[in-house]
Structure 1
Amino acid sequence: MQLNVHANRRKRKTCTLPQAVARGIIRFALLLCFAALLTGCTGPGQQAQQFDGQLKISGSTALQPLVTAAAQKFMSLHPESHITVSGGGSKTGLLNVFQKKSDIGDSDLYADPAIYPDPNMTDHIICVTPFVMIIHPDINITSLSKEQILDIFSTGTITNWNQIKAGMDQPIHPIIRPPTSGTRDTFRKYILGGGDEIGTPLKVDDTQQVVNTVATTPGAIGYIALSALKPTVKAIAIDNVQPTATTIGNGKYNFWSYEHMYTLGDNTPLMSEFLNFMTSATMQQESHQLSYITIDEMNLNKAESLPGKPVHQGTLAFSSFHESEVSRRESYA
């Protein structure tokens, strides 16, 4: 009997061990599943927490179509974020970010350090905007020289399209952009040679308003970002040169500007992620489709070859001096 008892005990032990192991394995598997569920739930939650919040962006109407498209795409990827984009002009955008009325200020212009002396003003170069002269569709010309544009907008010596070869007998109506416009400053500097425009400017810097005014005003002429060009107006060349990456790169077409997104350096995770998104492959492709010239096309990374000048990483951000000395000299006059 004793032997049988021991035998039975051994049998019970033999049967109990696999069951214990099995129970242990099941418990371990359950723990792993629970941990995986926690990780799965926490990951997106952390990301949502990271990119939630609001961004207010204002400024350049030339850059506005691209920023608006980027904001819509970004919010579809991160529904917890809320981004508002408005225009008002480059100078409005710069002033807004400097006064902390906006988180990001879009600008066709470099921020003059004499006007915006905060050392935390950080310049993020996004792309290049080619600008183009537009005329009422009834005007039968395809190009104007810089001298003719100067005489139309600044000296006032050309007032009728019949003063230009192949032009019709029609008074010229120059459409003048308001002083807040960075496009206007670029036009004055590179097309008018620093001269001022004559005439009454529009009250609001709105590129679409310029397009609509030229389209509906007989004899009208204006200038806009190429990204805003519509079939309702006619684009014309300057000195028989069209705005392309090649003609801009070789200096034959100089009515263009870098597009900047300025911040005050206090980037939140949402702001940093959005700025990175602006220079992502997705948005660079979008910028090309919207008739901007991409960073790769302009080869802006050559600016990094200058020794001793800081380059902000994370987005394509350069100091004004750094970028302008390499690619295009700028003055703040």
Structure 2
Amino acid sequence: MLSKKAHTGRHSTGARKFMMGGTSLFLFLFLASLLTGCAGNTQDSQDLSGKLSISGSTALKPLVDVAAKEFMHQHPQVTIKVAGGGSKTGLKNVNDKVSDIGNSDIYVDPALYPDPNMTDHIICVAPFVMIVHPDITVKSLSKEQLIDILSNGKITNWNQIEGGKDQPIHPIVRPATSGTRATFRKYILGGADELVGTPLNADDTDAVVNKVATTPGAIGYIGLSALKPTVKTVAIDNYTPTAQTISDGKYNFWSYEHMYTLGDNTPLLTQFLAFMTSPAIQKKAHDLSYITTEEIKPPKAAILPEQPFNRSSLALSFSHESEVTRRESYN
């Protein structure tokens, strides 16, 4: 897990050595100790109990839903409730102690949340995609065209774009609480805001998909993990999101997915956070179209000067990156 706080793993107890040809009593005691150890591990698992409340990013929610379900299956005495609401809602909820974990597409703003216990746990990377109504024939849009469609309103009909037919454009706008909107605004619109289109009342990725799918001429954006065959995707500057295009800096519509906590010193919280970056859940992330931290190369700007890249320095590199090269706008 990529976190600004170090986590200490549980060390397993080594089995006692015994001499071949030892007495039967010694062998009995050895076997008894193994059985006792196994029973203790089982008891530890059974004793893990309690409740976790998680809210925030709808882009990360599909993965958290899967992980929560599996974690509760492994630990029947644990209850985990996962809600959306948008990244900024998640950050506020964890800061106000309404949620134990706040999921976010964006880094926390220390001016808004100065608590030194606010801890960032980077889980994976979420690629975002532009989606359009299935009747749209345009294959790619430039950043300039997206600004003209969504911000200044210079482009209002699909026939103003190569490959488009005569049909009004209907942008679907996510609410201000959306971290995906903040990412889109900063990295695709160049800091401009969305000033035209139909605003949604709540940050719900499925609602975006359904609205675009049922509105002729519609365009919107979602996390790739939420893509459905009811809509089409449109490339940005002829690039689609892959680990390679993101690592090369050719596709900029993506974000690190964070889980923020106000400290993580309870056994349940600590184990669930570790579970989120376990090989099993990271495989689920890959299957759900997220990009794992093993698949992506941190941008060159993320590496500290004269510091060679290695996995052990990844958390430090991402921390530097968060402050310098991919800091979100909160205006």
How far does residue 299 in structure 1 lie from its aligned partner after superposition?
3.8
Q: Which residue does 2:96 correspond to in 1?
A: 99
How far does residue 212 in structure 1 lie from its aligned partner after superposition?
0.3
Q: Which residue does 1:187 correspond to in 2?
A: 184
Q: Extract unaligned runs of 5+ from structure 1.
A: 1-24, 308-313
Kept after mapping to 2: 8 A contact 1:124/1:260: yes
Using the alignment, how far apart are the partners of 1:280 and 1:182 within structure 2? 25
SS of corresponding position for 1:111? coil
User: Amino acid of the residue matched to residue 181 of structure 1?
Assistant: S
Q: Which residue does 1:165 correspond to in 2?
A: 162
Identity between Structure 1 and Structure 2 (%): 66
Shift >6 Å, 4+ stretches: 25-37, 301-305
Q: How many residues are aligned here?
A: 303
User: Amino acid of the residue matched to residue 265 of structure 1?
Assistant: G
Q: Structure 1 residues 32-41 or 158-167, which shifts more?
A: 32-41
Per-residue CA deviations over 1:27-70 (Å, capped at 9, x if unaligned) read 99998888776655443223322x21111110000000011111
Q: Which residue does 1:231 correspond to in 2?
A: 229
Cα RMSD (Å): 2.8
Alignment of 1:266-277 (within 5 A): 266-277=264-275
1:69 aligned to 2:66? yes
SS of corresponding position for 1:69? helix
User: Amino acid of the residue matched to residue 279 of structure 2?
Assistant: A
TM-score by length of 2: 0.83
If you compute each CA radius of gyration, which structure gives the higher value, 1 or 2?
1
1:262 aligned to 2:260? yes
Per-residue CA deviations over 1:132-164 (Å, capped at 9, x if unaligned) read 000001011110111111111000011111111
Alignment of 1:115-154 (within 5 A): 115-154=112-151
Kept after mapping to 1: 8 A contact 2:120/2:259: yes
Alpha-carbon spacing, 1:318–1:262, altered in 2? closer, same or farther (3 Å): farther
Using the alignment, how far apart are the partners of 1:238 and 1:304 within structure 2? 23
1:59 aligned to 2:56? yes
Using the alignment, how far apart are the partners of 2:288 and 2:30 within structure 1? 49
Q: Structure 1 residues 192-201 or 115-124, which shifts more?
A: 192-201
1:211 aligned to 2:197? no
Alpha-carbon spacing, 1:284–1:27, altered in 2? closer, same or farther (3 Å): closer
Q: Extract unaligned runs of 5+ from structure 2.
A: 1-22, 306-311
Alpha-carbon spacing, 1:217–1:45, altered in 2? closer, same or farther (3 Å): same
How far does residue 243 in structure 1 lie from its aligned partner after superposition?
0.8
Q: Structure 1 residues 121-130 or 33-42, which shifts more?
A: 33-42
TM-score by length of 1: 0.82
Q: Which residue does 1:46 correspond to in 2?
A: 44
Alpha-carbon spacing, 1:278–1:302, altered in 2? closer, same or farther (3 Å): farther
Using the alignment, how far apart are the partners of 2:274 and 2:55 within structure 1? 18
